[in-house]
Amino acid sequence: MYNCANDILAYHDDEVTLPQAERTNMRGRRDANRERLKKGLKDKDKPAPREFASQGSYAMKTMTQHPAKDYDIDDGVYFEKAVLVGERGAEMTALQARQMARDALDDGSFKTPPEVRKNCVRVYYLAGYCVDVPVYRRVATKDIFGSESYHHELASSDWKRSDARDVSKWFEDENTKQSPDTVNGRQLRRVVREIKKYARSRESWSGQILSGFGITKLVTECFQGDMWREDRALYATMKAIRDRLNWNLVVAHPVTPDQTITRGTDDPRARFLRGRLTEAIDTLAPLFEHDCTRTKALKCWDKVYATTFFSNRDETKFEKKSALLKVASVAPPAGAFSFPNAPRTDDKPRGFG
Q: What is the pLDDT of residues 80-116, one digit of tens each?
A: 999 999 888 899 999 999 999 999 999 998 999 999 9
User: Is the separation of the CB atoms in 49 and 77 below 8 Å?
Assistant: yes
The answer as to whether 12 is a domain residue is no
The answer as to whether 129 is a domain residue is yes
Domains in the chain, number: 1
Q: Which of 162, 39, 52 is nearest to 109 (CA)?
A: 39
CATH (domain of 147):
3.30.460.90
The answer as to whether 305 is a domain residue is no
250 CB burial (10 A radius; 0-12, 13-18, 19+):
middle
Domain with 80 in it: 20-162
Model pLDDT for residues 47-74, shown as the tens digit of each residue: 999 999 999 999 999 999 987 777 888 9
User: Is the separation of the CB atoms in 276 and 305 below 8 Å?
Assistant: no
Query: Quick one: pLDDT band at residue 340, thresholds 50, 70, 90?
Result: very low
User: Residue 77 and residue 119: Cα distance in Å, rounded?
Assistant: 12
Which DSSP helix (H) or strand (E) runs through 169?
helix 164-178
Query: Quick one: pLDDT band at residue 337, thresholds 50, 70, 90?
Result: very low
Inform me whether the pLDDT recorded for 27 exceeds 60: yes
The answer as to whether 141 is a domain residue is yes
Count Cβ atoms below 10 Å from residue 2 Cβ, excluding itself. Answer: 18
pLDDT at 348: 44
Phi, then psi, of 321 in degrees rounded to 5 = -65, -40
The answer as to whether 77 is a domain residue is yes
The answer as to whether 282 is a domain residue is no
Model pLDDT for residues 114-155, shown as the tens digit of each residue: 999 999 999 998 777 889 999 999 999 888 888 889 999 999
The answer as to whether 107 is a domain residue is yes
Q: pTM of the entire structure?
A: 0.86
Task: Output 25 or 41, whichever has higher pLDDT.
Answer: 41
User: Residue 141 and residue 77: Cα distance in Å, rounded?
Assistant: 21
Query: Quick one: pLDDT band at residue 316, thresholds 50, 70, 90?
Result: confident
The answer as to whether 30 is a domain residue is yes
